[in-house]
Structure 1
Amino acid sequence: MKSYRMYINGEWVESCRGTYFPVHDPSTEEIIAEVPDANAQDVDRAVAAARAAFDSGPWSQSTAQDRGRLLFRLAQKVRDETPRLAELESRNCGKPIVESEYDMADVATCFEYYGGLATKVLGHVNPVPANALSLSLREPVGVAGQIIPWNYPLLMAAWKLAPALAAGCACVLKPAEQTPLTALEMAQWFEEVGLPPGVVNIITGFGETAGAPLVQHPQVNKIAFTGSAAVGKQIVKMAADTVKRVTLELGGKSPNIFFADADFEAAIDGALFGVFINQGEVCSAGSRILVERTIYSRFLEAMTEKAGRIKLGPPLERETKMGPLVSKEQYERVNSYVEIGKKEAKLAIGGSRPASPARGYYVAPTIFYDVDNSARIAREEIFGPVAAVIPFNNETEAIRLANDTPYGLAAAVWSRDIFKVFRVVKALRAGVVWVNHMQPTYVEAPWGGYKQSGFGRELGPWGIEEYLETKQVHINLDEQPIGWY
């Protein structure tokens, strides 16, 4: 078992209390590491380091070219270390190794993209009368607190760190308590790639004792959070006292809509991929599967048959398509929803723990059908491999059902009729809409939701905007006094 320390001001440190908590491998239920249990005093240390680095350290004098080159060097380290990072990610969060390898490639691409974008942040000359010059300058927002989820640990850290560093911010990053290991491993390269002390600080701990003090800290200028809607609402309230800027990427209950004229085989694959990738632990999971009634029975039969062939197994085996859930707590939560589903709808497949592997937090792919859209399994985010299949009669009903949710992160539409597709796309209240696909995500394109799925956008040029302030500079070109008094 490896014992980690936190990374504050360029040094590896224990928590102020000197206490640690265990980190588990969800496929074996064994402890694989321990990390410091940070509290408000540790948050103070990390924020003070970030504040000093931003206000007066060498980072405050860095150029956009400096920051871009640093991000490219960090991307290369991720590429060089992908086999080791991917294995650690899979051991820590349970996702199949092949998926973790894709994640590491996306981490590197994210750093590279923002490395290039760093020099593309432009000001503006405003059109004002001839006796003045008005400029709009872009400046980093300051110290950013970043709270990372456990489903894509290093990738979500990159989504937040890369634009913040490109903009010139300093950061205090708190990984999820279940999955802190790859972020701590990455910190080992910060000095090597040229990151000055204090620019990125990584603290480990729990939401109540480390996350809340970070959100409330008066020297933190911005909070970026990915996680549940319930916690997101608490963050907004806590951040209000200091009027922090906040970016929230919260939960979802995404509709995956299948019309009768869709490519049938592609649609079945899209339904399975949308809800079962990463064990269903995806904020944009297409867990509400809306199927036109004329193909409903055939669709359900084909989806159920193919779901039964998904290979569950240890995450480090390359044939594995679904690993364990991230923790015992999440395993129990998902199983509680399975029991609710058995009372609310009909069960096509799954609904129990698979016989093999013998240990680990595994849940079989589970499909409920004839689900009413008012059912809890159709309205509440489960964050596990549980699908709710819902029939609809026509386009109007499909749109109504799709939008009948407090969330609005993502949606997908499957049809060969381009006119129908665009009618539905325009009507859907979601921040991301896929057509004849499910779950593709590109660093160049914006990511974020409507309604209770959050506000603000990550990725693309929208992502760096969240870490920039706009300053207007007025230069008087009139030599005469104002003459008002």
Structure 2
Amino acid sequence: MDFTKQYIDGAWVPSASQTYIDVENPATKTVFAKVPAGNAADVDAAAKAAAKAFPAWEATPPKTRVELMQKMLSYFQSIEDDVVQAVVSELGAPVTFARANHVRYQYERIESYMDLTLRAPFVEYLPKSTVYRRPLGVIGCITPWNYPLGQIVQKVIPAILAGCTVVFKPSQHTPLTAYYLADAFDHAGFPKGVFNLVAGRGSEIGNALCDHPLINMISFTGSTEAGSGVAQRALAGLKRISMELGGKSPCVLLKQDNYESGIRSCFNSLFLNAGQTCTALSRLLIPRSDKGKIETLIKQILPEYIVGDPTKAETKIGPLSSQHQYDTVKGYIQKGIDGGARILAGGLPDAPDAGYYVRPTIFADVTNDMAIAQEEIFGPVLCVIPYDTVEEAVKIANDTPYGLNAAVWGPKTLALDVGRRILAGNVYINDGPRDVEAPFGGFKESGIGREGGLDGILEFTEPQALFDHGN
């Protein structure tokens, strides 16, 4: 696979910049690939190709769009081993988790979008009108490094199925997985210009996408701070925006006899991608009356989460993605210590000589006003916060700027009641599974708009009502 070119207008072409960005393996700290450091000229070429392709693609029946997407998926599945290796090498994700969650779970998402496209109300007949949901046009998709395939799937797939064309910028830190997806689009025979990939640095390519007059919408996933800047720049040109941003998600353990399942669920959410998950359950709210019992269980379960070489099947936690992430997470662990939280497990990491590894760190006796309880750490750091009443638990759960994800474990009727009172876009009740047909997105500073399910397809459309007496 040649990672040194851009994919524009149905062809692999050299970047106008003629410069490159190194890709580092965070487990070994070695540079093993390079991608173009694209520029505004690359974005311009891609946007023009996408705009040229849009009228014909908009007119393509949804059934035909789905058939082409199925060809893409079939080819993509045939190169699974290469994709898994890319995720392990560029992100440091443990190979077992990479295959199951970073790759195979995305097949399910793609298949769901294809099924929903055939059922989507692109034309809806009302009593006195007909509503047409028309594709918005050219979509600029900007994705982060932490889920290098999953974040792409949530944007690029529904946008194209809705009839839009795409200019896509992967993260400069984990761009290789995106190249394999581009290769699959190429093999599937999509019309030229429907899918375009422009690799480069976040600020340069992101700014060019936001500024380009032929791009109609920006779909962004990343930090709340970065998202705010992207949104302001895009709105200067009155572009539509969709923002999936940060989180500080609570896992509420209600009073019960057995806390083990809730603790394991919290650990899986937080630790399996080394804490680098926007929906990670990073605050564990526990009944103060059972504090000792729960802390004992935490210490008993934690050793199952083995930190180490991501290429080994038994590893559950790999390295953080970069020196920057390592420094950030280490800084937050120090803030927790300085702020008076008690270390229940883990602590300050060793020097990252052999990779950016950080042991799972669990703080007890955390109060919700501490920096580690309010700010998104994006590492394997858990804050355990005791509460006295259910009312207090709900108040603590909602007392952050974010509202992306949450979980409640306990007697089902009470858990459902508590879940409905938490201000989060997604709330898991006990062992309720993720539903790919459900909308995904957040309240408050966790974002604008929704991905996933039918909402995630219609996000890329504009309703047009024709008042024609209806039917």
The TM-score normalised by the length of structure 1 is 0.93
8 Å contact kept, 1:354–1:364: no
Correspondence for 1:427: 421
Rg: which structure is higher?
A: 1
Q: Write the letter of the residue equivalent to 1:384.
A: G
Secondary structure of 1:339's aligned partner: helix
Secondary structure of 1:374's aligned partner: coil
Q: Deviations over 1:106-163 (max 9, x none)?
A: 22222222222222233122323xxxxx321121110001111111111110111111
Correspondence for 1:401: 396
1:2-401 matches, cutoff 5 A? 3-55=3-55, 58-102=56-100, 103-122=102-121, 123-128=123-128, 134-261=129-256, 263-344=258-339, 345-353=341-349, 359-401=354-396
Secondary structure of 1:308's aligned partner: helix
Distance in 1, Cα, partners of 2:168 & 2:150:
13
Distance in 1, Cα, partners of 2:349 & 2:89:
20
Distance in 2, Cα, partners of 1:7 & 1:426:
45
Q: Deviations over 1:57-96 (max 9, x none)?
A: x424321111011111122222222122111111110111
Describe the shift of the 1:3–1:455 C-alpha distance in structure 2 as closer, same or farther (beyond 3 A): closer
User: Where does structure 2 lack aligned partners over 5 or more consecutive residues?
Assistant: none
8 Å contact kept, 1:71–1:114: no
Distance in 2, Cα, partners of 1:469 & 1:199:
19
Q: Write the letter of the residue equivalent to 2:148.
A: P
Shift of 1:476: 7.8
8 Å contact kept, 1:366–1:387: yes
Deviates more, 1:259-268 or 1:202-211: 259-268
8 Å contact kept, 1:170–1:198: yes
Secondary structure of 1:257's aligned partner: strand
Distance in 1, Cα, partners of 2:3 & 2:306:
33
8 Å contact kept, 1:75–1:107: no
Secondary structure of 1:120's aligned partner: coil
Deviates more, 1:75-84 or 1:382-391: 75-84
Correspondence for 1:468: 461
* 1:453 correspondence with 2:471: no
8 Å contact kept, 2:127–2:469: no
Secondary structure of 2:118's aligned partner: helix
Q: Write the letter of the residue equivalent to 1:463.
A: G
8 Å contact kept, 2:58–2:135: no
Distance in 1, Cα, partners of 2:108 & 2:190:
19
Q: Write the letter of the residue equivalent to 2:422.
A: L
Q: Deviations over 1:215-238 (max 9, x none)?
A: 222211111111100011112211
8 Å contact kept, 1:247–1:454: yes
Distance in 2, Cα, partners of 1:369 & 1:105:
36
Secondary structure of 1:287's aligned partner: strand
Describe the shift of the 1:97–1:135 C-alpha distance in structure 2 as closer, same or farther (beyond 3 A): same
Q: Write the letter of the residue equivalent to 1:112.
A: E
Q: How many residues align?
A: 467
Q: Write the letter of the residue equivalent to 1:434.
A: Y
Shift of 1:3: 4.5
Q: Write the letter of the residue equivalent to 1:423.
A: D
Correspondence for 1:480: none
Q: Write the letter of the residue equivalent to 2:133.
A: R
8 Å contact kept, 1:262–1:415: no
Secondary structure of 2:467's aligned partner: strand
Distance in 1, Cα, partners of 2:378 & 2:469:
57
Q: Percent identity?
A: 39
8 Å contact kept, 2:210–2:233: yes
Distance in 2, Cα, partners of 1:448 & 1:322:
26
Shift of 1:4: 2.3
8 Å contact kept, 1:180–1:204: yes
Shift of 1:431: 0.6
Secondary structure of 1:7's aligned partner: strand
Q: Write the letter of the residue equivalent to 1:110.
A: R
Shift of 1:354: 5.7
Distance in 2, Cα, partners of 1:2 & 1:31:
16
Distance in 1, Cα, partners of 2:115 & 2:250:
35
Distance in 2, Cα, partners of 1:267 & 1:463:
29
Shift of 1:419: 2.8
Secondary structure of 2:274's aligned partner: helix
Distance in 2, Cα, partners of 1:244 & 1:32:
37
Distance in 1, Cα, partners of 2:384 & 2:304:
19
8 Å contact kept, 1:76–1:108: no
Deviates more, 1:451-460 or 1:189-198: 189-198
Secondary structure of 1:79's aligned partner: helix
User: Where does structure 1 lack aligned partners over 5 or more consecutive residues?
Assistant: 129-133, 478-485
Distance in 2, Cα, partners of 1:282 & 1:3:
26
